[in-house]
Structure 1
Amino acid sequence: MYNLLISAAAAIVALLVVTLAAHLPWWAGVLVATVVFLACFLLIARIITKKLEAIMEPAMKDIQAQRFEKGIRDLKSALVYGKWQIYVEGQINSAIGMVYFVRREFQTAFPYLEKGFFKNWVTMGMLAVTYMKRNKPDLMKQTFEKAVMASPKESLLWALYGYCLNEIGETVKACEVLAKGVAKLPGDENLKQNLELLREGKKMKMKGYGEMWLQFHLESLATIQKQQMAAMGGGRRRFVRK
């Protein structure tokens, strides 16, 4: 990353100046070099963050307003700063991949999700779902394991992991995963309920997670519409007789 390289170069110059030119003790040179490194690193990081904010904030507003093409184009333009700051490229790729995935453009989303940020549990979940649909269970499990390690307090992530394992026929493993989730989140009723359902040989119920669950596109459109109708009372108005 350019930031690290520039900061390290400035620190080395400071060390040489202090120890060789100023003839001060080596520990003084190390102290000055450390201060210079941190100052340069933080300054460059601040500059890059400001530049990214100037691009990312309008881009996300465009996406929320369903101006997808413009928003994605702006997000892609921010990739030039990926070489300057650690994790920047992964975060931008995650954002782009999520937009494509939510729009059901799975083929286009995949390479961006692959290069996404490992601490973005939503896009890691999307990547794992993609591996499952591509019949790559080992990669699916590896992705989920990395995600739950980085984000162990996300209930939906544990439930999604268990759901996908159950979908590929590994119900015992799914129960183990949900049990781990319950251990991390002992008060989570969604995880407890789904663990019991799997142990009873029943299908998991994910509607408790609302819109967050639907973005993974694991429910058919017909099922989603049925759930929405049920939430509205089957589309029928109930009249109270006096």
Structure 2
Amino acid sequence: MINLAISLAVYILVAGLLQVATDLQPWLNALVGLLAFGLVYFLLSRRVLKKLTAVMETVQRDMMAGRADKAIKTLEATLPLGKWQFLVTSQLYSQIGSLHYLKRDFGKAFDFLQKGFGRHWPSMGMLAICYMKRNKTDKMIQTFEKAVSLTRNEPLLWNLYAYCLEKVGKHSQAIEVMKKGLKKTGNDENLQENLDALVNGRKMKMQIYGDAWLQFHLEKTGAIVKKQTKAVQGRRKIVRR
């Protein structure tokens, strides 16, 4: 990218000038050139990071205020920044795709999520769900496998993977995923509870993850409210007794 190209140009310039203007050994010229390369690349990368941080703060404020469309436009306007630094474009695609997904615009979300950043596990989960909804189970599994290989210690990701496997009728595979997730997350309690539920033929309890779970739109909010209402009513009956 541009940052790398500029840094390489500085390396060549510095090493070349030292070679012509001094009596230093060639390896010393190269070493000084490398130091100049590293410093310039660091400063340019930091400049890009500051711009991205400012953009994400603006996007977050817009999302908190319910201005999702404005947030998406801000991110799209930032895409040219990807020419300067590696991985910036894929990270922006993940963010844009995630916002479209949150709006339930799954078609647009899918287009961006496919080109997203593999280490952004929520967007990878959303992409896997898009494949599931398109009846592409193999692609769903491939996407989840990539996600858990890059983000091994996130309990919700393992739960989400198993939940989707269960949803497409792969019960035994869902159990194996949960067992593997338990090892990778250090025996997470919620993972263990949902593993026990699967083994005993019960539904997984995903509401424990709150908004982090709701963002995937796999369960209607109305259904969750009903469950919570019943739970509250049940507790009241117990108290009365």
TM-score (norm 1): 0.91
Cα shift at 1:80: 1.0
Cα shift at 1:235: 11
1:98 and 2:112 matched: no
Distance 1:92 1:234 in 2: 44
Q: Counterpart in 1 of 2:206?
A: 206
Task: Write out per-residue CA displacement over residues 75-118 of structure 1, whole angstroms, 9 at most, x where no aligned residue.
Answer: 11111101111111122111111111112111111111112111
Q: Counterpart in 1 of 2:25?
A: 25
The amino acid that maps onto 2:230 is A
Task: Write out per-residue CA displacement over residues 97-155 of structure 1, whole angstroms, 9 at most, x where no aligned residue.
Answer: 11111121111111111121111111111111111111111211111111111111100
Task: Write out per-residue CA displacement over residues 156-197 of structure 1, whole angstroms, 9 at most, x where no aligned residue.
Answer: 000001111111111111111100111112331111111122
The amino acid that maps onto 1:43 is L
Alignment of 1:112-127 (within 5 A): 112-127=112-127
Q: Counterpart in 2 of 1:2?
A: 2
**Mean CA deviation greater in 117-126 or 6-15:** 6-15
Asked whether the equivalents of residues 155 and 191 of structure 2 are also in contact (C-alpha less than 8 Å), the reply is yes
Alignment of 1:221-232 (within 5 A): 221-230=221-230
Distance 2:19 2:118 in 1: 41
1:148 and 2:148 matched: yes
Q: Counterpart in 2 of 1:160?
A: 160
Structure whose residues are more often helix by fraction: 2
1:117 aligned counterpart, secondary structure: coil
With over 3 angstroms needed to count, the CA separation of the structure-2 counterparts of 1:160 and 1:236, relative to structure 1, is closer
Distance 1:161 1:237 in 2: 35
Alignment of 1:41-52 (within 5 A): 41-52=41-52
Cα shift at 1:236: 10
Cα shift at 1:48: 1.6
Alignment of 1:58-69 (within 5 A): 58-69=58-69
Distance 1:235 1:95 in 2: 40
Distance 1:72 1:132 in 2: 25
**Mean CA deviation greater in 219-228 or 74-83:** 219-228
Asked whether the equivalents of residues 182 and 188 of structure 2 are also in contact (C-alpha less than 8 Å), the reply is yes
With over 3 angstroms needed to count, the CA separation of the structure-2 counterparts of 1:105 and 1:183, relative to structure 1, is same
Q: Counterpart in 1 of 2:134?
A: 134
Asked whether the equivalents of residues 161 and 174 of structure 2 are also in contact (C-alpha less than 8 Å), the reply is yes
Asked whether the equivalents of residues 94 and 117 of structure 2 are also in contact (C-alpha less than 8 Å), the reply is yes
Cα shift at 1:234: 4.3
Q: Counterpart in 2 of 1:14?
A: 14
Distance 1:180 1:151 in 2: 13
Q: Counterpart in 1 of 2:219?
A: 219
Asked whether the equivalents of residues 14 and 33 of structure 2 are also in contact (C-alpha less than 8 Å), the reply is yes
The amino acid that maps onto 2:91 is Q
Distance 2:67 2:220 in 1: 26
What percent identity do the matched residue pairs reach?
Answer: 47
Distance 1:64 1:235 in 2: 34
CA RMSD in angstroms, aligned pairs only: 2.1
2:218 aligned counterpart, secondary structure: coil
